[in-house]
Amino acid sequence: MRKDQGYRSACIFGGVCRERDTGVALVLLQASTDGMNRLFAELSSQVPPRTHALVLIDNAGWHISDEVIMPANLTLVACRPTAPI
């Protein structure tokens, strides 16, 4: 007899600044370009005025989609496919 185990998945998008001992995170039901746009907007809002942040990413499709909206105070840095991030 099969039984629904009731498992649900969630994706945690986040970023941290070790120097400032702060971070942001979003918990979403799926990984998507929309989720990345929401994360980048939240990260951007937490970057102090007149500063810039680098965001390390892998090459997942939702990270590098043409539909990603990149705030002016963030720059994406793509890691090599073999990088352990």
- Strands, E assignment, 1-85: 11-17, 22-28, 53-57, 74-78
Q: What is the pLDDT of residue 46?
A: 92
| Domain boundaries of the chain, sorted by first residue | 11-78
pLDDT digits (tens, 9 = 90+) for 32-51: 888 889 999 999 999 999 99
**Rounded Cα–Cα distance for residues 3 and 62 (Å):** 33
pLDDT digits (tens, 9 = 90+) for 55-73: 888 877 666 678 889 999 9
Q: H or E segment at 63?
A: helix 61-64
Token reading at 30: 């799926």
Residue with more model confidence, 53 or 9: 53
CB 16 within 8 A of CB 23: yes
Residue matched to tokens 């970023």: 15
